[in-house]
Amino acid sequence: MKEIAVNCGAGAAAGLSAVFIGYPLDTLKVRMQCSDAKISMSSCAKDLFAEQGFKGFFRGLSTPATLATPVTSLAFTGKTLARAVFFPRGIEKGAYGQVSTCAAFGGLLATAVSCPGERIKCVLQVNSHLRRPRDALFFLTRSYGFMGLYKGWTFTALRDVPGYTAFFLSYRYLRDELDEKIGYIPSICVAGGVCGCLYWTAGFPGDVLKSRYQTDLSGQYRSLGECARATLSGGIRSVYRGFTPTVLRAFPSNIVAMLVYEYVKLRFL
């Protein structure tokens, strides 16, 4: 029970630290994903700065800063809980199938909070007339009801389940391989940076579909399938639009996140 509680707290601290480091690039990612025209990261940044100034890069920050704590906490807690339930004798080194099972469960659990948080954040990032997260929250609940916050849950799961599976699996594998070769801290840094990038590599198509579906306030997409068909009509590159700023954000922010995570675990376990 103590291990689950510590993983809950460590995951929350890790998520919060990652949000503050990577948020400006996250804003560019969402705007690039939701743009009808193909746009480069530099052009997107220039347009955003010209339109809203430096503050535009941090629009909606309070929502992920608040929700990053329970989202990553649920992912790490779900992984630990699944291990305790499904593999009570523990997971041996090299049992990566078991690691993947626990990781997928953690990703699925995280969607309970990540979906409404992403809905608020994404709508706020692409609609300048909504100034604060609570404005977006009130607008969405008045217009679509409480369940409107869960629009795009399927696409959120399509991001988080494969994403967290790749994240935890690669982190465990790299730590197993590198701890004795390059040392404890360097191993965490390499594994943290790489697993963050692999999370987005695996989960990015789901994230693009989620962003486009969640920010559709005009009813352009009448169903998940219609959104998927319209997006995929542009080929595989269309579901990796905005990938560059995401990876540039993921590597350093996840180094910090996993250093924070391991420190909290070491301090309290």
Residue 130 has pLDDT above 80, yes or no: yes
pLDDT for 139 equals: 93
What is the pTM for the complete model shown?
A: 0.86
Average pLDDT, the chain: 90
- Output the CATH code of domain 2-268: 1.50.40.10
Q: Across residues 129-144, what is the average pLDDT?
A: 89
pLDDT in tens, 81-123: 999 999 999 899 889 999 999 999 999 999 999 999 999 988 9
pLDDT for 213 equals: 95
pLDDT for 44 equals: 87
Q: How far apart are CA 12 and CA 4, in angstroms?
A: 12
pLDDT for 111 equals: 96
In the chain, domain spans: 2-268
pLDDT in tens, 69-91: 788 999 999 999 999 999 999 89
Contact 86, 101 (CB under 8 A): yes
pLDDT in tens, 49-64: 888 888 888 877 777 7
Residue 202 has pLDDT above 90, yes or no: yes
